[in-house]
């Protein structure tokens, strides 16, 4: 599942590279799941699974990622959400990395290769190498 750089990140990287302003490394980052994948680089058009059952974003720290090569980086550790309980999360169609556990700025986003229905008792997870982030 390839993810693209969000507009917020693009602007921060550009301003940092030209020496306009420093870019503080985000804490986290935090992985979010979407029942409707974002359609815009600014995160618009998407519907995060927020408020459904026990869904919550999870932390994907730097130690979960490999070394960037050729403008891309992928997860080197499996990523797993809490087991779905209370209410079904629905069909997960997209994902995003944010700089905050709630709200915050979208850093990267993408669609899942194969949408997956997460019902009570299911666990959303990404195997090593499933999350690929590119600068485009």
User: How do residues 77-87 score in pLDDT, each as one tens digit?
Assistant: 999 999 999 99
User: How do residues 8-46 score in pLDDT, each as one tens digit?
Assistant: 888 888 899 899 998 888 888 999 999 999 887 877 889
106-118 vs 47-48, strand pairing mode: unpaired
**Residue 2 has what pLDDT?**
64
89 near 124, Cβ under 8 Å? yes
């Amino acid at each position: 599942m390839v993810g693209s750089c969000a507009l917020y990140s693009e602007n921060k990287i550009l301003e940092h590279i030209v020496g306009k302003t420093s870019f503080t490394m985000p804490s986290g980052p935090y992985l979010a799941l979407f029942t409707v994948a974002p359609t815009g680089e600014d995160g618009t058009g998407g519907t995060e699974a927020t408020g459904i059952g026990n869904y919550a974003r999870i932390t994907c720290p730097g130690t979960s990622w490999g070394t960037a090569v050729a403008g891309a980086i992928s997860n080197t550790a499996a990523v797993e959400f809490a087991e779905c309980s209370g209410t079904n999360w629905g069909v997960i169609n997209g994902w995003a990395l944010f700089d905050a556990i709630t709200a915050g700025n979208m850093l990267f986003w993408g669609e899942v290769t194969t949408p997956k229905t997460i019902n009570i008792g299911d666990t959303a997870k990404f195997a090593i190498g499933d999350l690929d982030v590119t600068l485009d």
